[in-house]
């Protein structure tokens, strides 16, 4: 955590409520990023600073863990848990901290570094160094699939809007063909250690702004940011058998990292269309097939559709409506092992109209064979 968490209201920067969900935060970020991107405001130097604030706010609020920690810090600020920062010679000077004194965030992190993650929250421990290379954000996308593509698997192309590595400098922030030097102040670490009495804490290097690098000539396209807002075309391999609502993680296809950090992941949520014939039950396909009264009574071999042609199914004589038959290995393919099965449920269709001859034959059948009602066992 850095001082900006105390000084800046990221929700106000993005123009959203503190209770806004991730979708609302993402929509607000995209709108503001496009509006204030330096490329869209070449005559407004203040747009670049505004764009950085917007990106910083989104970088924190789009991560659930970081957002939770940010909210806790803001809550402590609002409740008077601490109210600012002391001087270098007196880190606990002023009001608002323990014993009525003002507490420096970094020093508080050092003091609480061994207490159940409190040091991490205030800048100590593992999270003390927020500068230097940072992993990019995980971003989300939706993919509509046909029933067949979801069952068989497919390779498709996704159009993802948002922040991406600059296509000119490939994210380096430097004009192609120019050199990037190691920052002489921090030696490439991105941080400078300072002593405050008995305490020592690290803060981002001012000369390189925490990147650890010195770009001699910034990229003209992204102005040294290394990122731009654009639409990317991403090839996505969807495995066979994916379910509706499943999330597929494409590693390294998310938001760009900063200061040479790795890209985040792209989380693809699938929406599978319904099929006019087939349903799904895990790795099994289901289908309801109509049969005639005589086919059910006398038995028959019928053609049953599958996703790969049709198969012959033997319906025994005396089959009742609702009976389910299993056709082996005609269901959903599995990444390992044999495919699932096709579960065929027969529905006996009773004719609504009968010819005189058919009616006469059925009445003759009833008189000869249906001496007792099947409801007689129920006492009716």
CATH numeric code, 284-378: 2.60.260.20
Gap between the terminal Cα atoms of the chain: 78
| Residues 372, 358: Cα–Cα separation, whole Å | 22
Alpha carbons 81 and 100: distance in angstroms, whole number: 10
- The CATH 2.60.260.20 domain(s) of the chain lie at 139-172+220-274, 284-378
Runs of H (alpha helix) within the chain:
4-7, 10-14, 22-36, 46-61, 64-79, 105-111, 118-121, 147-152, 293-298, 356-369
Q: Which residue has the tokens 């609702």?
A: 322
Structure tokens at 161: 């809007």
pLDDT value at position 373? Answer: 56
CB 199 within 8 A of CB 222: no
Q: 187-225 burial, b if ≥16 CB within 10 A, otherwise e?
A: ebbbbbeeebeeeebbbbbeebebbbbbbeebbebbbbb
Residue 218 to residue 21: CA distance in whole angstroms: 36
Q: What is the pLDDT of residue 188?
A: 80
> In this predicted structure, what is the pLDDT of residue 103?
42
Q: What distance in Å separates the CA atoms of residue 118 and residue 132, rounded to the nearest whole number?
A: 22
Q: In terms of pTM, does the model score above 0.85? A: no
CB 158 within 8 Å of CB 143: yes
Architecture of domain 139-172+220-274: Sandwich (2.60)
Predicted pLDDT of residue 40? 77
CA-CA distance, 380 to 373, in Å (whole number)? 9
The two tokens of residue 23 are 């979708």
Cβ atoms of 155 and 237 within 8 Å: the answer is: yes
Residue-by-residue pLDDT tens, the chain, 380 positions: 456 777 789 999 999 999 999 989 988 988 888 888 877 777 787 887 888 888 888 888 988 888 888 888 888 767 655 444 444 334 334 434 444 434 444 444 443 443 333 444 444 433 444 445 678 889 999 999 999 999 999 999 999 988 888 889 888 888 999 988 888 888 887 788 766 544 556 778 887 877 788 888 999 998 888 888 889 999 999 999 999 999 999 999 998 887 667 889 999 999 999 999 999 999 999 999 999 988 998 999 999 999 999 999 999 999 999 999 999 999 999 888 899 999 999 999 988 888 999 889 888 888 877 766 565 555 54
Residue-level pLDDT at 113: 40
∠ CA 21-13-107, rounded to 5°: 95
């Amino acid at each position: 955590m850095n001082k900006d968490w105390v000084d800046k209201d990221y929700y106000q920067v993005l123009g959203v409520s503190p209770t806004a969900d991730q979708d609302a935060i993402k929509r607000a970020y995209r709108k503001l990023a496009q509006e204030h991107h330096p490329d869209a405001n070449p005559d407004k130097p203040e747009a670049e600073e505004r764009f950085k604030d917007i990106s910083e706010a989104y970088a924190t609020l789009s991560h659930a863990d970081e957002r939770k920690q940010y909210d806790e810090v803001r809550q402590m600020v609002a409740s008077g848990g601490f109210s600012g920062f002391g001087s270098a010679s007196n880190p606990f000077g002023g009001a608002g901290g323990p014993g009525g004194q003002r507490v420096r965030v970094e020093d508080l992190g050092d003091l609480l570094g061994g207490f159940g993650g409190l040091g991490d929250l205030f800048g100590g421990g593992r999270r003390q160094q927020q500068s230097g290379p940072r992993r990019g954000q995980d971003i989300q996308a939706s993919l509509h699939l046909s029933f067949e593509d979801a069952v068989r698997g497919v390779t498709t192309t996704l159009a993802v809007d948002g922040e991406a590595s600059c296509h000119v400098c490939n994210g380096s922030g430097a004009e192609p063909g120019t050199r990037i030097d190691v920052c002489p102040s921090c030696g490439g670490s991105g941080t400078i250690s300072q002593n405050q009495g008995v305490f020592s804490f690290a803060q981002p290097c001012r000369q390189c702004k925490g990147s650890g690098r010195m770009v001699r000539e910034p990229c003209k396209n992204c102005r040294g940011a290394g990122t731009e807002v654009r639409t990317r075309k991403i090839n996505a391999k969807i495995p066979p058998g994916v379910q509706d609502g499943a999330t597929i993680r494409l590693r390294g296809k998310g938001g760009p990292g900063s200061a040479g950090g790795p890209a985040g992941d792209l989380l693809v949520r699938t929406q599978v269309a319904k099929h006019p014939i087939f349903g799904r039950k895990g790795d099994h396909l289901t289908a309801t097939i109509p049969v005639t009264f005589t086919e059910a009574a006398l038995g028959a071999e019928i053609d049953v559709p599958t996703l790969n042609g049709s198969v012959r199914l033997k319906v025994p004589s005396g089959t009742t409506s609702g009976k389910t038959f299993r056709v082996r290995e005609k269901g959903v393919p599995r990444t390992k092992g044999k495919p699932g099965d096709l579960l065929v449920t027969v529905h006996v269709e009773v004719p609504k109209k009968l010819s005189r001859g058919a009616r006469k034959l059925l009445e003759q059948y009833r008189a000869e064979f249906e001496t007792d009602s099947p409801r007689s066992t129920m006492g009716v």
